[in-house]
Amino acid sequence: MAGYRIVEPEALEVLGTEVFVALGTPGDVGREVAAHLVRANLAGHDSHGAIRIPQYATMIAQGTIRPASRPTITRERGAAMLVDAGDGFGQFATAFALERGMERAADLGAAVVTLRRANHIGRVGDYTEKAARRGYVAEVTVGAAGPGIGGAAPFGGAARFLGTNPWSLGVPTGGEPVVVDFATTVVAEGKVRVARAKREPLPPGCIVDKAGQASTDPEDFYAGGMLLPFGGHKGYGLALAAALFGGLAAIGESDPSMAGAAAPPTDKGEGDRIAGVFMLVVDPGAFGDREAYTAAVARVTASLKRVPTAPGVPEVLLPGEPEARTRVQRQREGIALPDDTWEAIAQVASGAGVAMPAARPS
């Protein structure tokens, strides 16, 4: 089992910002991306945290991420809006889209925003949580589908065709919001990445190797294996729906090299893919008294907490409650990163001329 380095959240955020800026990212963009990664670590979702810094550095070097790009609104009609991320950082572009969506929902009662060419957008629960804290009901999903895309096989299939295609929903309660956030695979790809960094096996039933045989070795996934959908056909259906909803952002696109584009099919099936981000933001006040709705949600969730527990279960938890508790603990104790992750970040930082912060071994 790998060792760990403990680093303060603020120091890790500064490090991420400095690395991204050194790689050509504007300061405000770099700060938002780094802050998003640290919030993921604080929430206990290390798969979407600082472990991504080396990956993003590689994507910048390869030209996949254009670090100086900024999102633009390319189409608007009523409550609908299309945002183009310009192949920039997904976290910054999605945060921009969410802000525009909340503005539109405040005016019209609801807004639907789609986002294309966004690269990896990070933890989707971050966006719905933010909206719920502002009093909105929100849904965010991102998906991709097509031959060879992502790391997941469709239900009953033996080849990669889908991303992890996560869904998140957020609901205000007046306190900690209800935040539902899940990948449509048994585990997200980032969880496999974390297991590899920790040199630990995966639970059974998460992946198969390239021959379709069950495996618990993270290396088998990166050697051509596949993630499996949760709940069989149910997770598969949600995964496909995420891609098709996100594909609304791709209407009119014709360049198959563009992430988030719905490329036209060819005789060989090349370009038969679709991808994008879909976001729904609703103002409860459009249906009546906003405060009354929040109060009703608070009463229901409080009642849910009083449900008797099953044998061996200490407490019934609300969606989002584990993240809230982990956030408090990690703000106090610091964020633990596997040594392999720390060393990979240090290598990127050294190449960018950025000093690593102080950290202590666990």
Largest Cα–Cα separation, the chain: 58
Domain of 62, in residue numbers = 1-68+334-362
If asked whether residues 114 and 49 sit together in one domain, one would say no
If asked whether residues 16 and 162 sit together in one domain, one would say no
- Residue 142, classified by CB atoms within 10 Å of its CB into exposed (0-12), middle (13-18) or buried (19+), is buried
If asked whether residues 22 and 145 sit together in one domain, one would say no
Distance CA 123, CA 129 (A): 10
Q: Is residue 15 part of a domain?
A: yes
Q: Is residue 11 part of a domain?
A: yes
- What is the amino acid identity at position 259? A
Distance CA 167, CA 72 (A): 24
If asked whether residues 37 and 112 sit together in one domain, one would say no
If asked whether residues 237 and 134 sit together in one domain, one would say yes
Its pTM stands at 0.91
Q: Is residue 133 part of a domain?
A: yes
CB atoms within 10 A of CB 172: 23
Q: Is residue 219 part of a domain?
A: no
If asked whether residues 262 and 152 sit together in one domain, one would say yes
If asked whether residues 126 and 154 sit together in one domain, one would say yes
If asked whether residues 262 and 346 sit together in one domain, one would say no
Distance CA 204, CA 226 (A): 13
CATH number, position 63 = 1.10.1530.10
If asked whether residues 235 and 169 sit together in one domain, one would say yes
Q: Is residue 45 part of a domain?
A: yes
Q: Is residue 312 part of a domain?
A: no
* Predicted confidence pLDDT, tens digits, the chain (362 residues): 569 999 999 999 999 999 999 999 999 999 999 999 999 999 999 999 999 999 999 999 999 999 999 999 999 999 999 999 999 999 999 999 999 999 999 999 999 999 999 999 999 999 999 999 999 999 999 999 999 999 999 998 989 999 999 999 999 999 999 999 999 999 988 889 889 988 899 999 999 999 999 999 999 999 999 999 999 999 999 999 999 999 999 875 544 334 444 443 433 344 689 999 999 999 999 999 999 999 999 999 999 999 999 999 999 999 999 999 999 999 999 999 999 999 999 999 999 999 999 999 98
What is residue 197's predicted lDDT score, i.e. its pLDDT? 85
CATH number, position 260 = 3.30.1370.60
Split into its structural domains, the chain has a count of 2
If asked whether residues 64 and 81 sit together in one domain, one would say no
Strands (E), 183-293: 207-208, 214-215, 226-227, 274-282
Q: Mark 274-290 as b/e (b = at least 16 C-beta within 10 Å).
A: bbbbbbbbbbbbeeeee
27-42 and 9-22 are packed helices; what angle lies between their axes, rounded to 10 degrees?
140
Q: Is residue 135 part of a domain?
A: yes
What is residue 353's predicted lDDT score, i.e. its pLDDT? 97
Q: Is residue 25 part of a domain?
A: yes
- Distances from the Cα of 192 to the Cαs of 16, 46, 89, in angstroms? 22, 11, 22
If asked whether residues 31 and 10 sit together in one domain, one would say yes
What is residue 348's predicted lDDT score, i.e. its pLDDT? 98
If asked whether residues 112 and 236 sit together in one domain, one would say yes
